[in-house]
Amino acid sequence: MGLEPARELRLNIGDITVSIVSDKEFIVDELRAPFVTNKRPDVVGYVRHGLGSDVFAGQLTDMVMSGGHFGWDLYKWHGRYVALYEGSETSAPGAIVVLGSDSAPFEFYMRWQRGDQQPHSNGHYFHKAPMMEILPERHGVMLHACGVADGQRGMLFVGPSGAGKTTMARLWSNSGEASVLSDEYCIVRAIKGQLWLYGTPWVGRGGFCSFGKIPLEEVFFVEHGKETECVPVSEIEAISRLMSQTFLPMWDKTKVQLVLDTCVNLVQSVSCCRLPFVPDEGVVQLLRRVQVA
């Protein structure tokens, strides 16, 4: 069972509390319910519908980035940054996001569409942008990756779309002994000298997500191969591969540097290997043998 609809959705993601308040209700399904918390928010955002075109009409002229990691156009506006997502039905923006600052919250302006009188069923996606903003200062990164907890062993399987993250998630889930934290978006944070791997409420094609954390022990860069093998990589290659799958707050050079620093710490602290694999249970067996060895 999910939770009762509410106009505030406060989630614990990576031991960071993000609160999103909307002008219509959120629905939380059973999969995301464990992320809901009553803790004091670390960052706050507001969602409004049908107002963006009026507020920003003719004002967004100073473009600083086109395309971006999420397909947005980024503008500078009164000392803040504003991201535009194009809508699929008209040339009007589907969403306008005013990025947060030390003195102001995040603001989301959504274009009205048919059915918008209904509650949000995917409200957890509003929490992504605030997490990108706050994670670097908390010694954290968000990655395109599958996270697995096998006993007390945390493993991160990193790769772009199509590399095999969802396949890896299914293989570990079918092993009957491991928990899949996510098949698409994972968070890693360094806290008091320990690297922690967290699940997130955002899923990939396999629909895997789990609330939890585990000490991170190994990073694998996954790719489909003719045979399954673990190939150690250099620190430079590991950092390059890791950064290519990291969600970067490109509007803030200082925070980009913080993300790089966290990635350097990560590859210097845990084992990093390239993992070409055949999509069968053999890869699970191999990695468990490597652990024992």
Residue with tokens 């673990």: 230
Q: How far is CA 197 from CA 50, 118, 156, 163, in A?
A: 38, 35, 8, 20
> What token pair was written down for 129?
């942008």
Out of 9-18, 51-60, 214-223, which region has the weakest mean confidence (pLDDT)? 51-60
Residue 93 pLDDT: 47
Q: Is the pLDDT of residue 116 over 50?
A: yes
Kindly state the percentage of the chain with pLDDT values over 90: 54
**Could you tell me whether strands 106-110 and 43-49 are parallel, antiparallel, or unpaired per DSSP bridges?**
parallel
- 143 and 287: one domain? yes
- 92 and 163: one domain? no
Q: How far is CA 279 from CA 87, 92, 163, 276, in A?
A: 37, 43, 11, 10
Last residue of a domain, one of 89, 115, 135: 135
> Burial level of 105, CB count in 10 A (0-12/13-18/19+)?
middle
- 219 and 261: one domain? yes
pLDDT, tens digit, 9 for 90 and up, residues 188-247: 999 999 999 999 999 888 889 999 999 999 999 999 999 999 999 999 999 999 999 999
pLDDT, tens digit, 9 for 90 and up, residues 117-141: 555 656 667 888 889 889 999 999 9
- 154 and 283: one domain? yes
Give the Cα separation of 176 and 193 in Å (integer): 31
- 148 and 123: one domain? no
- 261 and 160: one domain? yes
Average pLDDT, the chain: 86
Q: Quote the Cα angle for 241-245-246, to 5°.
A: 115
pLDDT, tens digit, 9 for 90 and up, residues 143-156: 999 999 999 999 99
Tell me which of 62 and 173 has the higher pLDDT: 173
Count of C-beta atoms within a 10 Å radius of residue 49: 16
Give the Cα separation of 127 and 153 in Å (integer): 27
Q: What is the extent of the structural domain holding 92?
A: 3-135
Last residue of a domain, one of 135, 170, 187: 135
Number of structural domains (the chain) is: 2
- 36 and 127: one domain? yes
pLDDT, tens digit, 9 for 90 and up, residues 167-180: 999 999 998 889 99
- 106 and 165: one domain? no
